[in-house]
């Protein structure tokens, strides 16, 4: 079983070839950081045009890397949402065209399901159900992953996503774009106790997350502390909030033997280390995908396509793009 995956929902254009037995034969990715950097964030129109230019050559390159032709591909999987509508349409229409031309089935993948199932691509022993902390630029959720297409949302953010908080903090500190990795690098040079920052919803009876107040507190402290101390204090506050909320959820789902983290913010080493210690404390196994599989990529889309296809799920060629699409 050979699956071609396409991803274009935000600012990464990507194509990958993955087998049903978890081999990543090729994964190509082109980031658009340079195009968006002058604006301090992703500009949807620029992103969509860049996807149009990049996707065809990336698919061709991935096929060459894997040493296969389109005719040898069994399934085409493309992100159909959620994300920026222009970009999603580029990837989905490309996927439909390839599926139609090659006479192969199409699987329209929810980008969040790509993140949610990506840990199973990296770890063959990861069985359902597991507790997933999904932390990305657009989302911050705790999900009980019960099976393919079976997700029970236990918590979400009531304001900003956690990656968004990293990106806004980076902007406030003048650390550039994209913000997450820049904040992590600066934090390594600072004192996490230097700046007193709030821990929104820590200890709250409700299960959710909140990061807007933390971002505002950083904004008020800018100029009074070094960017390194601010970055370190911000990251420490984020980690504490994530741990508190995840600990609460772990207690609520004793059936989940494993704690899993996925999404772009899962690439953060402080976040990974803290969650691993939490899992150990609660007697659960901990799984985090390799760093390249945390941030947006097409291998996770191909893998979600493989899992959905194996479950008998395919989609018609008139499947619409869905800019908003909760799991
Ligand atoms: O999953 P992803 O690549 O795209 C979305 O689906 O949103 O996540 C991107 C987010 C961005 O907000 C980025 O700043 C954040 O993940 N991120 C990080 C790190 N690497 C990426 N945040 C903290 N530390 C990192 N090392
Ligand atoms: Zn993502």
| Tens digit of each residue's pLDDT (9 = 90 or more) over 252-311 | 999 999 999 999 999 999 999 999 999 999 999 999 999 999 999 999 999 999 999 999
Q: From ligand 2's centre to the CA of 111, what distance in Å?
A: 6
pLDDT for 177 equals: 80
Q: Model confidence over 149-192: pLDDT tens digits?
A: 999 999 999 999 999 999 999 999 999 888 999 999 999 999 99
pLDDT for 41 equals: 86
**Mean predicted confidence (pLDDT) in 72-95:** 98
Residue 194: burial class (beta carbons within 10 Å; 0-12, 13-18, 19+): middle
Residue whose CB lies within 8 A of the most ligand 1 atoms, among 264, 292, 298, for a mutation test: 264
pLDDT for 35 equals: 94
**Mean predicted confidence (pLDDT) in 197-223:** 98
Atom number, ligand 1, closest to the C-alpha of residue 267: 26
Class of domain 2-115+294-310: alpha beta
d(CA 263, CA 21): 22
pLDDT for 180 equals: 97
d(CA 299, CA 306): 10
CB 295 less than 6 A from any atom of ligand 1: yes
Structure tokens at 121: 């691509």
Annotated binding site: 111, 115, 134-138, 167, 180, 184, 268, 296
Place of tokens 């085409």: 76
Is the backbone peptide bond immediately before 129 cis, with ω within 30 degrees of 0?
yes
For residue 196, what are the contacts with CB-CB under 8 A and spacing of at least 6? Answer: 233
Alpha-carbon distance values, 15 to 65, 67, 69, 203, 221 (Å): 11, 14, 14, 42, 42
Q: Quote the DSSP letter at residue 188.
A: T
Whether 103 has a pLDDT exceeding 90, the answer reads: yes
CB 114 less than 6 A from any atom of ligand 1: no
- Rg of the chain in Å (alpha carbons): 20
Question: Contact, 179 vs 167, CB < 8 A?
Answer: yes
Residue 286's region, left for phi above 0, alpha for psi from -120 to 50, else beta, is: beta
| CA neighbor of 129 nearest in space, from 248, 228, 260 | 260
Nearest CA to ligand 1 atom 1: 264
Q: Model confidence over 114-148: pLDDT tens digits?
A: 999 999 999 999 999 999 999 999 999 999 999 99
What angle in degrees, to the nearest 10, is found between the helix axes of 179-187 and 162-172?
A: 70
CATH topology of domain 128-288: Nucleotidyltransferase; domain 5 (3.30.420)
d(CA 188, CA 191): 8
Kindly list the domain boundaries of the chain, sorted by start residue: 2-115+294-310, 128-288
Place of tokens 């090659």: 102
Alpha helices, DSSP H, located in 129-268:
162-172, 179-187, 212-221, 227-252
What angle in degrees, to the nearest 10, is found between the helix axes of 227-252 and 212-221?
A: 160
d(CA 29, CA 45): 19
| CA neighbor of 18 nearest in space, from 6, 8, 33, 36 | 6
pTM of the model: 0.97
pLDDT for 276 equals: 98
Q: Model confidence over 233-242: pLDDT tens digits?
A: 999 999 999 9
| CA neighbor of 270 nearest in space, from 187, 194, 210, 148 | 187
Question: Contact, 79 vs 9, CB < 8 A?
Answer: yes
To the nearest whole percent, how much of the chain has pLDDT over 70?
Answer: 100
pLDDT for 204 equals: 98
pLDDT for 283 equals: 98
d(CA 131, CA 37): 35
Q: How confident is the model at residue 37 (pLDDT cuts 50, 70, 90)?
A: confident
State the chain's mean pLDDT as an integer. Answer: 97
What angle in degrees, to the nearest 10, is found between the helix axes of 179-187 and 227-252?
A: 110
CB 136 less than 6 A from any atom of ligand 1: yes
**Domain 2-115+294-310 shares a fold with domain 128-288:** yes
pLDDT for 244 equals: 98
For residue 318, what are the contacts with CB-CB under 8 A and spacing of at least 6? Answer: none
d(CA 183, CA 269): 12
d(CA 54, CA 15): 10
């Amino acid at each position: 079983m050979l699956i071609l995956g396409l991803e274009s929902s935000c600012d990464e254009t990507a194509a990958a070839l993955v087998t049903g037995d978890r081999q990543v034969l090729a994964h190509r990715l082109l980031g658009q950081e340079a195009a968006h950097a002058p604006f301090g964030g992703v500009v949807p129109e620029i992103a969509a045009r860049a996807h149009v230019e990049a996707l065809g050559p990336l698919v061709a390159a991935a096929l060459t890397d894997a040493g296969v032709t389109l005719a040898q591909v069994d399934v085409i999987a493309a992100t159909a949402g959620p994300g920026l509508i222009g970009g999603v349409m580029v990837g989905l229409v490309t996927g439909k065209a390839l599926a139609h031309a090659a006479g192969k089935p199409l699987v329209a993948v929810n980008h969040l399901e790509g993140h949610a199932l990506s840990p199973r691509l990296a770890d063959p022993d990861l069985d359902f159900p597991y507790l997933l902390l999904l932390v990305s630029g657009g989302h911050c959720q705790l999900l009980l992953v019960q099976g393919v297409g079976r997700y029970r949302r236990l918590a979400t953010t009531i304001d900003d996503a956690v990656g968004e908080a990293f990106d806004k903090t980076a902007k406030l500190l003048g650390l550039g774009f994209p913000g997450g990795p820049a904040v992590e690098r600066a934090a390594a040079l600072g004192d996490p106790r230097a700046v007193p920052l709030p821990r929104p919803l820590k200890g709250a009876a409700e299960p959710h997350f909140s990061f807007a107040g933390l971002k505002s507190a950083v904004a008020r402290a800018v100029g009074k502390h070094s960017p390194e101390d601010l970055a370190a204090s911000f990251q420490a506050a984020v980690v504490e909030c994530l741990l508190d909320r995840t600990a609460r959820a772990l207690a609520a789902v004793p059936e989940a033997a494993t704690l899993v983290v996925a999404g772009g913010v899962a690439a953060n080493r402080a976040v990974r280390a803290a969650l691993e210690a939490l899992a150990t404390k609660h007697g659960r196994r901990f799984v985090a995908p390799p760093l390249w599989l945390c941030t947006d990529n097409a291998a996770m889309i191909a893998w979600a396509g493989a899992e959905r296809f194996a479950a008998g799920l395919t989609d018609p060629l008139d499947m619409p793009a869905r800019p908003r699409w909760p799991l």
